[in-house]
């Protein structure tokens, strides 16, 4: 089967499944016939798919079990081979120790004279030469003497306290096999096999053989049934003695690497799984040696075991899917020729009749009378439904409060309502046939320049709605919706809602929430927000920033003497004076009572002093009129300058407030300047 054939089969199946049945005629003698045929086809295909799923599931389960069993056998075989080698290696060394422990020259090596010690050393040399894995062969005695070849122990060396000696004494009458330790000379890992020996009932000493682990390490590295297999040896306490991978794991306890691992190794042998942090799940087989407390473990990455199993399952699924697809295609061809095609022909004929086109060929096995009856019924119902829907749509269009305009994909007007004409100042004669370009031009010309790029353009910007500002002052919310047919855009529905009152109300509310009602300046909450923003910007751009606190002197006298109306007039006069003499980039706010605050961005300390001195002088020399009287007052000013590291808003205000308080304390009608890092030593206060 070629790839082209498979593509054709899939394409034909997609064509069939993508078709939708026509609405059935309930009075027709064959109504619903096509749906039944289609359901029969789908049910047959579903049955084939169900059978395929069952078969694939059973095959996959069999493949999984067979693959896992095979992997376990390979791991088990490798582990048993390693265990047999290690145990035989230790048995050979243990046999040599038993022989030496029963040799008189070894037993009496400390008291038998030099000739006896020489013979004992000869035995030791013979054992070392006959077994390349033996590094040291020696005996320690109760009297503190150490008998060994080629090694001179330190003067304070005491055999009786060494681990190999004490362990052998505790293990008597058995031997201590497999005690690991590092060679004090070259730090090589050795394993000691030692046995105590007695003269009658008195302990004479301990004979021991030290074997290198390199031979066993080489064996562990050579026997691998999987690329990810790791073989290692632990004792009953979980200490890692040998590992075939040089990963720095030696001397570590397995529990610190895999918590709870030692609880898995129960019994003499068995299969376990554990999670190795950072490496995933490991499948392992272990064997507990009978000769000592060692446990031989062979572990494999589960993902490596599962990879070929997954491949075989994927191949099985693919093959079964192809067979199912082939059977489904054959079934499809049978149903298509005997059931589907006649009904598809009938559907196309009815579609042609209801759309006013010339009817195509009649379907096989149906008479002209039957088709004519069906066509007449469908055409009558369609026309009636279209008239009813058109009336409903016209009613909706004319009663909605939104202006509606429908354009086709060539920007030709297809529908509009009266509200659209009212909003845009048009009349019915403006939107006749062939005048679409004129209407669109009028609409685009009726808006302000900032909205010119948005009106009737939202669909190209990817936005659903836009605010359109007309030259008449009206604000419209423009919404665009595509008209879809057969998954394609055939036009656009534009909706225009008059939101002028809503937008103006929202703006008024925002303004009321942000400003002081009396002076029109920023209120305390908004001024604090501006202060935080200005501090951040000044810090980022490394520019100076000054904060000014200005307080009217003896303001209570004005209220008490002339009334609160005079006080309000004084505050308005003060606000007008500040805004008229400051830059548009400066921020002025009334933060409470007669207290005002000013932010001067990118302004140094001396510049701020000069500007505020001019303002203070202007207020002191100026007059405002209330009730036919000219009144005057002065102000005290505190300036805080931030010229270095960032400070908080509270710290900034604290410094400015302290400066303003000092101006009051020095007699009022003054300007005092302070830096935020502390009071200025050369601070001056001047009265103009």
* Cβ contact 150:138 at 8 Å: no
What pLDDT band is residue 261 in, cutting at 50, 70 and 90? Answer: confident
Query: How many Å apart are CA 510 and CA 599, to the nearest integer?
Result: 22
What pLDDT band is residue 120 in, cutting at 50, 70 and 90? Answer: confident
* CA dist 274 → 8, 255, 264 (Å): 49, 12, 8
Interacting residues of 446 by C-beta distance below 8 A, sequence separation 6+:
424, 425, 470, 471, 472
Report percent pLDDT > 70 for the chain. Answer: 74
Q: Which two tokens stand for residue 428?
A: 């019915």
Per-residue pLDDT averaged across 446-471, rounded? 66
- Of 179-193, 265-279, 454-468, minimum mean pLDDT range: 454-468
For 606, list phi and psi in degrees, rounded to 5: -65, -40
Looking up tokens 């749509």 gives 393
Q: Which two tokens stand for residue 533?
A: 């923003």
* Cβ contact 677:570 at 8 Å: no
Residue 215 is predicted with a pLDDT of 66
* Cβ contact 415:404 at 8 Å: yes
Fold of 400-504: Beta-Lactamase (3.30.450)
Residues of the chain with CATH 3.30.70.270: 515-675
Query: How many Å apart are CA 162 and CA 596, to the nearest integer?
Result: 87
- Of 156-165, 561-570, 652-661, minimum mean pLDDT range: 156-165
Which one has a higher pLDDT value, 513 or 233? Answer: 233
* Side-by-side strand order, sheet with 475-485: 413-416, 403-408, 488-498, 475-485, 465-469
- Of 10-24, 71-85, 98-112, 550-564, minimum mean pLDDT range: 10-24
* Cβ contact 543:602 at 8 Å: yes
Residue 358 has pLDDT above 60, yes or no: no
3-state helix, strand, coil in the chain (%, to 5): 50, 25, 25
Report percent pLDDT > 90 for the chain. Answer: 20
State the DSSP code for 423.
H
State the DSSP code for 399.
H
Q: Which two tokens stand for residue 388?
A: 């009813």
Q: Which two tokens stand for residue 615?
A: 């303002």
Query: How many Å apart are CA 686 and CA 610, to the nearest integer?
Result: 11
Looking up tokens 């794991």 gives 249
Residues of the chain with CATH 3.30.450.20: 100-303, 400-504
Query: How many Å apart are CA 466 and CA 147, to the nearest integer?
Result: 100
Per-residue pLDDT averaged across 102-122, rounded? 83
Query: Looking at the DSSP assignment, which residues form a beta bridge with residue 301?
Result: 282
Per-residue pLDDT averaged across 83-96, rounded? 83
Q: Which two tokens stand for residue 347?
A: 């559907």
Q: What is the pLDDT of residues 299-353, one digit of tens each?
A: 888 888 889 999 999 988 898 888 887 887 777 666 666 555 655 666 665 665 5
Q: What is the pLDDT of residues 524-535, one digit of tens each?
A: 999 999 999 999
Helices (H) and strands (E) in the chain, counts: 19, 22
Q: What is the pLDDT of residues 641-675, one digit of tens each?
A: 987 788 999 999 999 999 999 999 999 999 999 98
Residue 342 is predicted with a pLDDT of 59
Q: Own/partner pairs for 77-82, CB < 8 Å, 24+ apart? A: 77/225, 78/223, 78/224, 78/225, 78/229, 78/231, 78/298, 79/231, 79/285, 79/286, 79/287, 79/296, 79/297, 79/298, 80/287, 81/223, 82/219, 82/220, 82/223, 82/231, 82/296, 82/298
* Cβ contact 474:500 at 8 Å: yes
Given 3.30.70.270, 2.70.50.60, 3.40.640.10, 3.40.50.300, which CATH number is that of 515-675? 3.30.70.270
State the DSSP code for 582.
S
Residue 378 is predicted with a pLDDT of 59
Which one has a higher pLDDT value, 386 or 45? Answer: 45
Residue 8 is predicted with a pLDDT of 56
Residue 687 is predicted with a pLDDT of 37
Query: How many Å apart are CA 428 and CA 422, to the nearest integer?
Result: 10
In this structure, the strands spanning 629-631 and 488-498 are unpaired
Q: Which two tokens stand for residue 404?
A: 């509606």
CA dihedral 525, 528, 533, 535 (to 10 degrees): 180
Superfamily of domain 100-303: PAS domain (3.30.450.20)
Residue 575 is predicted with a pLDDT of 93
Q: Which two tokens stand for residue 660?
A: 């303003």
Residues found in the chain = 688
In this structure, the strands spanning 671-675 and 635-642 are parallel
C-alpha torsion sign, points 265, 269, 272, 275: positive
Per-residue pLDDT averaged across 349-362, rounded? 55
């Amino acid at each position: 089967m070629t790839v082209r054939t498979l593509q054709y089969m899939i394409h034909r199946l997609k064509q069939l499944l993508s078709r939708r049945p026509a609405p059935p005629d309930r009075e027709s003698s064959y109504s619903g016939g096509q749906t039944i045929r289609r359901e029969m086809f789908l049910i047959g295909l579903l049955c084939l798919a169900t059978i395929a799923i069952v078969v694939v599931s059973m095959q996959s389960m069999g493949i999984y079990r067979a693959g896992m069993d095979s992997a376990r056998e390979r791991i088990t075989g490798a582990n048993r081979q390693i265990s047999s080698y290690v145990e035989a290696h230790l048995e050979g060394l243990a046999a040599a120790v038993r022989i030496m422990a029963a040799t008189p020259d070894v037993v009496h090596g400390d008291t038998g004279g030099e000739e006896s010690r020489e013979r004992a050393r000869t035995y030791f040399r013979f054992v070392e030469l006959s077994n390349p894995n033996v590094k040291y062969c020696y005996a320690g005695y109760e009297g503190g003497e150490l008998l060994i070849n080629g090694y001179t122990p330190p003067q304070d060396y005491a055999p009786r306290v060494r681990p190999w000696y004490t362990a052998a004494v505790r293990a008597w009458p058995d031997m201590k096999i497999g005690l690991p330790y590092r060679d004090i000379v070259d730090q090589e890992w050795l394993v000691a096999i030692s046995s105590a020996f007695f003269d009658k009932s008195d302990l004479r000493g301990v004979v021991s053989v030290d074997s290198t682990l390199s031979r066993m390490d080489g064996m562990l590295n050579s026997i691998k049934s999987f690329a990810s297999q790791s073989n290692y040896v632990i004792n009953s306490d979980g200490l890692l003695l040998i590992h075939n991978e040089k990963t720095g794991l030696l001397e570590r306890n397995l529990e610190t690497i895999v918590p709870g691992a030692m609880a898995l190794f129960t019994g003499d042998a068995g299969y376990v799984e554990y999670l190795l942090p950072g490496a995933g799940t490991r499948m392992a087989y272990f064997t507990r040696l009978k000769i000592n407390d060692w446990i031989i473990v062979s572990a494999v990455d589960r993902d490596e075991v599962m990879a070929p199993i997954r491949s075989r399952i994927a191949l099985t699924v693919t093959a079964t899917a192809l067979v199912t697809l082939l059977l489904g295609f054959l079934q499809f061809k049978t149903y298509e020729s005997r059931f589907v095609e006649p009904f598809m022909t009938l559907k196309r004929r009815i579609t042609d009749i209801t759309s006013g086109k010339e009817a195509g060929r009649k379907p096989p096995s149906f008479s002209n009378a039957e088709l004519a009856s069906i066509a007449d019924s469908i055409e009558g119902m369609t026309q009636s439904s279209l008239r009813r829907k058109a009336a409903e749509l016209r009613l909706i269009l004319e009663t909605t409060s939104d202006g509606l305009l429908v354009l086709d994909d060539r920007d030709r007007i297809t529908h509009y309502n009266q509200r659209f004409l009212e909003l845009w100042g048009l009349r019915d004669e403006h939107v006749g046939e062939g005048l679409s370009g004129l209407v669109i031009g009028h609409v685009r010309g009726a808006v302000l320049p900032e909205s010119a790029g948005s009106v009737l353009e939202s669909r190209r910007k990817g936005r659903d709605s836009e605010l359109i500002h007309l030259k008449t002052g009206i604000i419209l919310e423009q919404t665009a919706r595509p008209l879809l047919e057969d998954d394609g855009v055939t036009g656009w529905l534009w909706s225009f809602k008059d939101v002028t009152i809503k937008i103006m109300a929202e703006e008024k509310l925002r303004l009321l929430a942000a400003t002081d009602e009396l002076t029109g300046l920023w209120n305390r909450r908004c001024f604090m927000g501006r202060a935080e923003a200005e501090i951040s910007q000044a810090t980022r751009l490394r520019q100076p920033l000054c904060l000014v606190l200005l307080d009217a002197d003896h303001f209570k006298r004005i209220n008490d003497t002339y009334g609160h109306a005079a006080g309000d007039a004084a505050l308005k006069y003060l606000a007008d004076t500040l805004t008229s003499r400051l830059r548009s980039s400066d921020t002025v706010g009334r933060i409470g009572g007669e207290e005002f605050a000013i932010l001067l961005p990118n302004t140094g300390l001396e510049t701020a002093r000069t500007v505020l001195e001019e303002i203070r002088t202007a207020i002191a020399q100026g007059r405002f009129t209330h009730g036919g009287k000219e009144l005057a007052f002065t102000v005290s000013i505190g300036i805080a300058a931030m010229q270095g590291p960032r400070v908080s808003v509270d710290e900034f205000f604290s410094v400015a407030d302290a400066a303003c308080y000092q101006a009051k304390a020095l007699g009022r009608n003054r300007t005092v300047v302070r830096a935020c890092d502390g009071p200025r030593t050369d601070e001056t206060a001047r009265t103009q």
